[in-house]
Structure 1
Amino acid sequence: MTALGGRVAALLRRLEDDAGRRDPAVMERAYAAAAGRPAPPGPREAAELCADAALPVHPGVGRFLYQLVRTVRPALVVEFGTSFGISTIYLAAALRDNGTGRVVGSELHPGKAARAAAHLAEAGLADLVEIRVGDAAEELADLPEPVGVLLLDGWKELYLPVLRVLEPALRPGACVVSDNLPMLPPEFLEHVRGDGYVSQPLELGEGIEFSVRAG
């Protein structure tokens, strides 16, 4: 049985079901609170407004991440936007089935990072994951080895700045999965669809951009 069976599968179902019940109401309150502000919230304000929202990847995207990591067999997976750790479970489960590799995740909100750590411990995957709390552009600037798979699933306006920080660490052929395609800034898509990557949209969940680092 793979790591997506048994207690990991049961935990994923529970977390995804909980998010489906809770997130719509949480996000409705967050949008209402943001509408009353004189300017759109920045990343830290948005993180606080959405502190109780799991905002998970679609299960289809999660399975794709698992398949991708099993296939690529990366030594290091990096995640921008860990939230409650649902996507992290898919990534770490694949690494455990590979028998090698680690995940370095980043999460701006300390409470979400604590929840993610608890969920990873419940899944039996905590030993494969390091969650760095704070600004991803700072926290992910120092990595132990080249990155084989990168998941971007945080504040969309930060995708390009975070990617630029990580590009020197991306090994040739590294895979970049950028979630929530309809929300991605045009300048980010222009970057990954230009020189330096081979990139295309995939119809998974709300849509993802799948990019492979050239070289």
Structure 2
Amino acid sequence: MKSESFTQSSSAIRDPLILDVLNQMNARRKRPDAAAFAGPGAPDPEMFADYGFSIHPEQGDLIYLLCRAMKATRVVDFATSVGMSALYFAAAMRDNGGGEVIGAELVAAKAATAQRNLAAAGLDSYVDIRIGDARETLKDTGGPVDFVLIDGWPLAEGPTLARQVIEIMAPQLRVGGYVLNDNAEPDFLEYIRNPANGFISVTLPIKRGTELAVKVA
């Protein structure tokens, strides 16, 4: 974790260096042909190492704004992919005076790309990317978490990764902490909207529906 004071008048999210990296990443966005997902079973994530499937800028701005408002210092980024969401988180950590972004990424090549992007933006010291299955790497994040992004990979059967990861992260999230979900998986929504699990959520009109939840109990 990096901790230090900053006196700059402008925020990191408006830093020309960081904006240049984000602009380059957005310019490189691409999606595979739909046929790549048409085979039986779940697609192999290693086959998509060159594809970011990153959050949209509006989601990134929301992450930054919420983290700044709540003075977040420990956040979880699942899945980190090529580092788009981690950049927004890390920018908030820098402007909050210090903090740690705990990333989770299964594909080592994507984690390496994320590290390069973060280094280019001067934000790599705020991010710890844990390579491997998030259901293992996020079992212990080292303390109470302020914010969790959940943007997982499709599975062939059973509970989605989003559902499995929220069940792992919910006990580690502090009361008042946020969860942002990118793909609106039905079983994730079932969990987060069940009052017994201690959350209140709302669907935002961003990227075909982005679910934002706050832990209230």
Confirm or deny a common fold (TM above 0.5): yes
- What is the aligned partner in structure 2 of residue 3 from structure 1? 12
Q: Match for 2:204 among 199, 202, 205?
A: 202
Q: Match for 2:134 among 124, 133, 136?
A: 136
Q: Match for 2:178 among 175, 188, 213?
A: 175
Give per-residue Cα distances to partners, 1:139-186, cap 9 Å, x unaligned: 0001111010000012252001011111221111110000133xx1x2
User: Are 1:62 and 2:60 matched, yes or no?
Assistant: yes
Count, aligned residues: 200
Cα distance in 1 between the residues matched to 2:28 and 2:22: 10
- Report deviation, 1:55: 1.1
Q: Match for 1:214 among 208, 213, 216?
A: 216
The structure whose residues are more often helix, as a share, is: 1
SS of equivalent residue, structure 1 residue 64: helix
Q: Match for 1:17 among 27, 32, 35?
A: 27
Contact 1:73 1:101 in 2 (8 A): no
User: Are 1:187 and 2:193 matched, yes or no?
Assistant: no
- Report deviation, 1:194: 1.2
Cα distance in 2 between the residues matched to 1:210 and 1:168: 17
Amino acid at match of 1:168: P
Cα distance in 1 between the residues matched to 2:61 and 2:130: 24
SS of equivalent residue, structure 2 residue 63: helix
Q: Aligned-pair RMSD on alpha carbons?
A: 1.3
- What is the aligned partner in structure 2 of residue 76 from structure 1? 74
Contact 2:166 2:188 in 1 (8 A): no
Cα distance in 1 between the residues matched to 2:183 and 2:208: 6
- The alignment's TM-score, normalised by the length of structure 2, stands at 0.88
SS of equivalent residue, structure 2 residue 163: helix
Gaps of 5+ in 2: 1-9, 155-159
Cα distance in 2 between the residues matched to 1:213 and 1:106: 21
Same amino acid, percent of matched pairs: 39
Cα distance in 2 between the residues matched to 1:159 and 1:178: 8
- The alignment's TM-score, normalised by the length of structure 1, stands at 0.89
Cα distance in 1 between the residues matched to 2:144 and 2:82: 25
- Report deviation, 1:204: 1.6
